[in-house]
């Protein structure tokens, strides 16, 4: 809490250091979007008896820069309103941070987002930010994380030191939401291993470097595990899942080799918590055919494999899974792109298919159509929960 | 050290010095290479540059689409340039940034920053012939000129917008280039390109690039205000305009790394 206050004070100090007059650069940009989901099958669980779901979201970004760009503040609030799911109707501060840049170092204070990793189908080593689980089931959306980040640029790589004062709980679909488990996750009663609870001070240090065709990163993280253990409990007469957040130490390593038209990718973690100690890895490649059929279009093919030492005991959805994908980019003025991916669980023999097509219309509009289809017939498989949540999604985005 | 050796040496040295100055039995290939070297040498010493680059893409029906990019680049001794580009328009890619370490021979090192995911991605630079942001400019058309990227053949002298021009054929060395050859008009006074004709992999006329509104910066660096690319096969065209050129702004190596890429905006 003390550090949280400290980080707020630092942002305020940064803001008050704003010089009056023309030297400050201010800019606003952002987007609003609407998405419509059409579920092609009847729902599996009570309170999910609808076929269509409409949702709106807004994410403006405010940016100030002064002292010739050596100081800047970014503020990115986010709000979503959902037709059916009260939990999906939510807001967040994706970014509220002050960056000060020095000679071969920079410091960032505030709420922010950090991405680590190289693979496409799973982001195993990406550990700083909590997943905003109600946004989508793919885990790509993240909540803003309180942080003090010092970054040092050296000849032998970039070193990032993070102090993370405070923890964000994962968001989960509510009882009226689809794409969830049969039992509701009770986010109001989250429990923690640490006595400090959500105020635990986490820390991480990461080294990253480029050597010729190789880009690599190695880190150590100490603090609250972003992935909760979901424990069934009776709360006021209902059985619910209560998230329990453990402490953990994690080492992560990522590597990409970029050779001609090949991208070779590898990520691995070792996670050490009171309940478990295990390795997991994701590895594969991406190969791109450029200018296919004498056109300007590129076709990329992707193959990845995800492994978890715990096997079927893993509470992760990816433990022995194979992924195949294709990305077609027309490279036209409208940036037309089609992406398709299949994942196959080799233990449970379940599958999911995802197809995404997007295109720009005019200068400021973007429209995408997504289809997501799931099959699962083993009740022990986590994806069994969403086997009847096949859906098509139309997303319209307006940028400003 | 024999007495005979020294006069021989001086003859050799004299002939090496004399070759560029005279047209003494110079082949068309040698003359083309010499002009390329002189053109490159005449622009050396710009150190660093910042500019605003705007594109207007037009399709056959005349529909327009706009691209806005801010660029920083750094001259690197004995290697290709380093550059950092930030996209402002179209708005859906606003904040996307591109870092490139180019090399005269071999693959460039390139990274893309995707602001929505806050992700830095190393990308393959093999795609030289692909269109840059849907425009008629290929990536290779926008990369810095390096002598080693082509072999040459001088064709003739011809009057051009810049006075008298050398007309030179350039053959890309890189097998991934989209061209069999380029025909370039370079003026004899300042070595500025005025026109380039591009021939595709089947050696058919593909595109013509013309340069307009040259201005001189820092006493020797000539830069155009406008570059017009017309694709003869599709009827599409792209106008690339340059604004706010600034040279020797004090950029260093430290302005071109993954950290500066992430906060480039």
Res B7 pLDDT > 60: no
pLDDT at residue number A12: 54
Q: Which CATH number does the domain housing residue A108 bear?
A: 2.40.160.100
Q: Which residues of chain A lie closer than 8 angstroms to B117, CB-CB?
A: 115, 140
Of A115, A333, A363, the CB nearest to B119: A115
Predicted local distance difference test score (pLDDT) of residue A10: 52
Asked if A252 and A221 count as a contact pair (C-beta separation under 8 A), the reply is yes
Flag if B107 and A210 touch (Cβ within 8 Å). no
Residue B119 in contact with partner chain A when CB distance is under 8 A: yes
- Residue stretches of chain A with pLDDT short of 70: 1-22
Predicted model pTM: 0.90
Average confidence (pLDDT) over B41-62: 95
- Count of pairs with CB atoms under 8 A, one residue in A, one in B: 95
Say what the pLDDT of residue A8 is. Answer: 53
User: Residues B200-210: what's their mean pLDDT?
Assistant: 96
At residue A275, φ and ψ (nearest 5 deg) are -90, -20
> Residue B240: pLDDT above 80?
yes
Give dist(CA A86, CA A107) in Å, integer: 37
Mutate one of B67, B70, B91 to test the A interface: name it (highest A CB count within 10 A): B91
CA–CA dist B261, A116 (Å, integer): 15
Closest alpha carbon within chain A to B65:
A363
* For B66, nearest residue in chain A (alpha carbons): A363
Domain presence at residue B103: yes
Q: How many domains does chain A have?
A: 1
Structural domain contains residue B223: yes
Closest approach of B126 to chain A, Cα-based (Å): 6
- Answer yes or no: do B94 and A399 touch at CB < 8 A: yes
With 0-12 CB in 10 A as exposed, 13-18 as middle and 19+ as buried, what is A313? exposed
Q: How far B3 CA lies from chain A's nearest CA (Å)?
A: 50
pLDDT (tens digit per residue) in A48-105: 999 999 999 999 999 999 998 899 999 999 999 999 999 999 999 999 999 999 989 9
Short-list B146, B148, B195, CA closest to B173 = B148
Closest residue in B to A98 (Cα) is: B263
Minimum mean pLDDT among A325-329, B29-33, B122-126, B193-197: which range? B122-126
Decide if B30 is inside a domain.
Answer: no
| Rounded percentage of chain B residues whose pLDDT exceeds 70 | 91
Helix (H, G, I), strand (E, B) or coil at A383: helix
Query: Which residues in chain B have Cβ-Cβ distances shorter than 8 Å to A208?
Result: 258
* pLDDT (0 to 100) of residue A3: 44
CB B205 within 8 A of CB B179: no
Residue B126 placed within a domain: yes
The DSSP H or E segment spanning B8 is helix B5-21
**Is B23 inside any structural domain?**
no
Q: Which residue of B has its CA nearest to A101?
A: B260
Secondary structure in 3-state letters for B150-167: EEEEEEEEEEECCEEEEE
Beta carbons of A210 and B124 less than 8 Å apart: no
Comparing CB atoms, the residue among B66, B119, B126 nearest residue A363 is B66
Give contacts of A256 with chain B, Cβ < 8 Å.
122
| H-run or E-run covering A11 | helix A2-16
Interchain CB distance below 8 Å, B89 and A363? yes
According to the model, what pLDDT value does residue B11 have?
Answer: 52
Domain CATH code at residue B182: 2.50.20.10
Stretch 202-261 of chain B: residues touching chain A, C-beta under 8 Å: 254, 257-259
| Minimal Cβ distance to B259: which of A114, A158, A360 | A158
Question: What pLDDT, on a 0 to 100 scale, did the predictor assign at position A293?
Answer: 87
Q: Given a cut of 60, is residue B74 above it in pLDDT?
A: yes
> Which residues of chain A from 291 to 310 reach within 8 Å of chain B, CB to CB?
291, 296, 298
Beta A238-245 vs A191-192: how paired, if at all?
parallel
**φ, ψ of residue A362 in degrees (nearest 5):** 65, -155
Binary contact (A331, B176; C-beta < 8 A)? no
Residue B201, domain extent: 40-262
Shortest distance between the Cα of B228 and any Cα of chain A, in A, equals 17
Q: How far is B135 from chain A (nearest CA, A)?
A: 7
**In 3-state terms, chain B is what percent helix, strand and coil (to 5)?**
20, 45, 35
Instruction: Calculate how close chain B gets to A295, using CA atoms only, in Å.
Output: 9
Q: Which of B59, B124, B130 sits opposite A260 (nearest CB)?
A: B124
pLDDT score for A33: 98
B122 contacts A208? CB cut-off 8 A: no
- For residue A360, list chain B residues with Cβ-Cβ distance below 8 A: 90, 92
Q: In chain B, how many domains are there?
A: 1
Contact state of B118 with A333 under an 8 Å Cβ cutoff: no
Is the pLDDT assigned to residue B226 strictly greater than 90?
yes
Task: Give me the domain span that covers residue A169.
Answer: 2-399
Chain B hits for A63, Cβ within 8 Å: 265
Q: Which residues of A touch B126 (CB under 8 A)?
A: 260-261, 288, 290
Return the structure tokens found at A317: 């959805």
Q: Is the pLDDT of residue B9 over 70?
A: no
- ipTM score here? 0.91
Q: Do A331 and B94 touch (CB under 8 A)?
A: no
- Residue B66: list chain A partners with CB under 8 A: 363
């Amino acid at each position: 809490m003390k550090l949280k206050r400290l980080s707020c004070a630092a942002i305020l100090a940064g803001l008050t250091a704003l010089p009056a007059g023309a030297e400050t650069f201010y800019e606003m940009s952002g987007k609003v979007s609407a998405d419509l989901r059409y579920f092609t099958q009847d729902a599996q669980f009570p309170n999910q008896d609808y076929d269509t779901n409409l949702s709106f979201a807004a994410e403006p970004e405010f940016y100030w820069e002064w002292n010739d760009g050596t100081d800047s503040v970014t503020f990115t609030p986010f709000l979503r309103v959902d037709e059916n799911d009260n939990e999906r109707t939510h807001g967040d501060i994706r970014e509220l941070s002050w960056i000060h840049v020095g000679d071969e170092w920079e410091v960032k204070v505030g709420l922010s987002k950090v991405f680590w990793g190289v693979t496409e189908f799973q982001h195993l080593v990406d550990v700083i930010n909590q997943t905003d689980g109600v946004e989508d089931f793919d885990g790509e959306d993240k909540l803003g994380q309180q942080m003090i980040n010092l970054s040092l640029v050296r000849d032998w790589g970039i070193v990032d030191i993070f102090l993370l004062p405070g923890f964000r709980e994962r968001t989960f679909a509510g009882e009226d939401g689809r794409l969830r488990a049969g039992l509701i996750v009770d986010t109001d009663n989250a429990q923690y291993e640490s006595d400090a609870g959500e105020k635990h001070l986490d820390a991480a240090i990461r080294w990253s470097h480029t050597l010729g065709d190789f880009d690599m990163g190695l880190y150590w993280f100490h603090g609250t595990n972003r992935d909760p253990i979901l424990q069934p409990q009776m709360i006021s007469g209902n059985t619910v899942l209560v998230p329990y957040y453990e402490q953990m130490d994690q080492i992560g390593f990522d590597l990409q080799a970029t050779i001609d038209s090949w991208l070779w990718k590898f990520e691995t973690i070792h996670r050490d918590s009171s309940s478990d100690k295990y390795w997991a890895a994701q590895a594969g490649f991406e190969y791109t055919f450029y200018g296919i059929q004498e056109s300007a279009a590129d076709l990329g093919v992707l193959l990845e494999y995800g492994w978890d030492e715990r096997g079927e005991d893993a509470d992760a959805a990816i433990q022995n899974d194979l992924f195949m994908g294709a990305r077609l980019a027309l490279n036209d003025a409208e940036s037309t792109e089609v992406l398709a991916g299949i994942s196959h669980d080799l233990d449970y023999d379940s599958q999911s298919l995802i197809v995404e097509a997007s295109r720009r219309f005019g200068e400021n509009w973007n429209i995408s159509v997504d289809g997501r289809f799931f099959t699962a017939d083993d009740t022990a498989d986590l994806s069994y929960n969403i086997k009847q949540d096949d859906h098509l999604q139309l997303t319209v985005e307006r940028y400003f | 050290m024999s007495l005979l050796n020294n006069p021989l040496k001086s003859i050799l040295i004299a002939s090496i010095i004399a070759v560029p100055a005279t047209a003494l039995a110079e082949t068309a290939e040698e003359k083309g290479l010499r002009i390329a070297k002189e053109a490159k040498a005449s622009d050396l010493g710009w150190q660093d540059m910042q500019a605003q680059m705007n594109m207007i893409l037009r399709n056959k029906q005349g529909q327009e689409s706009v691209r806005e990019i801010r660029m920083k680049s750094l001259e690197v001794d004995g290697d290709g340039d380093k550059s950092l580009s930030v996209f402002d328009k179209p708005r859906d890619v606003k904040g996307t940034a591109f870092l490139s370490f180019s090399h005269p021979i071999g693959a460039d090192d390139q990274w893309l920053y995707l602001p929505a995911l806050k992700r830095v991605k190393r990308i393959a630079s093999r795609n030289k012939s692909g269109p840059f942001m849907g425009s008629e400019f290929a990536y290779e058309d926008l990369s810095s000129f390096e002598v080693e990227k082509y072999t040459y053949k001088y064709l003739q002298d011809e009057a051009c917008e810049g006075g008298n021009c050398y007309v030179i054929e350039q053959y890309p060395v890189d097998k991934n280039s989209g061209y069999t050859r380029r025909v370039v008009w370079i003026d004899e006074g300042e070595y500025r390109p005025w026109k380039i004709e591009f021939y595709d992999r089947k050696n058919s006329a593909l595109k013509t690039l013309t340069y307009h509104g040259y201005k001189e910066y820092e006493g020797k660096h000539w830069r155009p205000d406008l570059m017009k690319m017309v694709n003869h096969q599709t009827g599409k065209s792209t106008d690339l305009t340059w604004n706010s050129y600034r040279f020797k702004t004090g950029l260093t190596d430290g302005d071109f790394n993954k950290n500066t890429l992430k906060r480039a905006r």
